[in-house]
Structure 1
Amino acid sequence: MDDTSAPPEFPNANLKIPVDLFVSKKHHGLRFADASGDLVFSVDIQSSNSTPPRRKRVLDASENPLITLYRNHNGSWQGFKAGDTEEYLIFEVERTPNSPGRTEFEVVLVGEHSEDSNSDFKMKGCPSQRSCTIYRGNSIVAQTSLMYKLGIRRLFVTRRRFRLTIFPEFVDHPLVVALIVIFFDGRKLWI
Structure 2
Amino acid sequence: MASSTYQQQQVGVPAKLPLPLDYTVRKHVFSLSGGDFTVEDAHGNLAFKVRGGSSSYFTGSATKQKQLFVLDASGNPLLSLYQKPGGFDWECCRRNWFGCEELVFRARKRQQASKWVKELEIYLGLESLDPKRCYCTGMSSTPWDMLVKGSPFARSCTIYKGNNILAQSSALHQLGKKVLWRHKFRLTFYCNIDHALVVALVAIFFNGINWK
After TM superposition, the score normalised by the length of structure 1 is 0.78
Distance (Å, rounded) in 1 between the aligned partners of 2:146 and 2:208: 21
RMSD over aligned Cα atoms? 2.8
Distance change in 2, residues 1:73/1:133 (3 Å): same
Within the alignment, does 1:40 sit opposite 2:56 as a pair?
Answer: no
Rounded Cα–Cα distance in structure 2 between residues aligned with 1:155 and 1:163: 12
Pick the aligned partner of 1:104 from 107, 114, 119. 119
| Residues 149 and 157 in structure 1, CA contact (< 8 A), matched pair in contact too | no
Q: How far has the Cα of 1:91 moved from its partner?
A: 0.6
SS in 2 for 1:178: helix
Greater CA radius of gyration, 1 or 2? 1
Higher alpha-carbon deviation: 74-83 or 96-105: 74-83
Q: Which has the higher contact order (CA 8 A, sep 6+)?
A: 2
Provide the rounded CA distance (Å) in 2 between the counterparts of 1:174 and 1:113.
19
Tell me, which stretches of 5 or more residues in structure 2 are unaligned?
1-16, 57-62, 130-135
Matched, 1:63 2:43: no
Where does structure 1 differ by over 6 angstroms across 4 or more consecutive aligned residues? 112-115, 154-157
Q: CA deviation at 1:133?
A: 0.4
Aligned mates of 2:189, 2:144 — CA distance in 1: 20
Q: How does 1:36-185 map to 2 (within 5 A)?
A: 36-48=43-55, 50-51=63-64, 53-74=65-86, 76-84=89-97, 85-100=99-114, 101-111=116-126, 116=137, 118-150=143-175, 158-167=181-190, 169-185=191-207
Name the CA distance, whole Å, in 2 between partners of 1:164 and 1:47: 26
Tell me, what secondary structure is at the counterpart of 1:176? helix
Q: Structure 1: any 5+ residue segments left out of the alignment? A: 1-14
Structure number with higher strand proportion: 2
User: How many percent identity over aligned positions?
Assistant: 38
- The residue aligned with 2:132 is none
Aligned length: 170
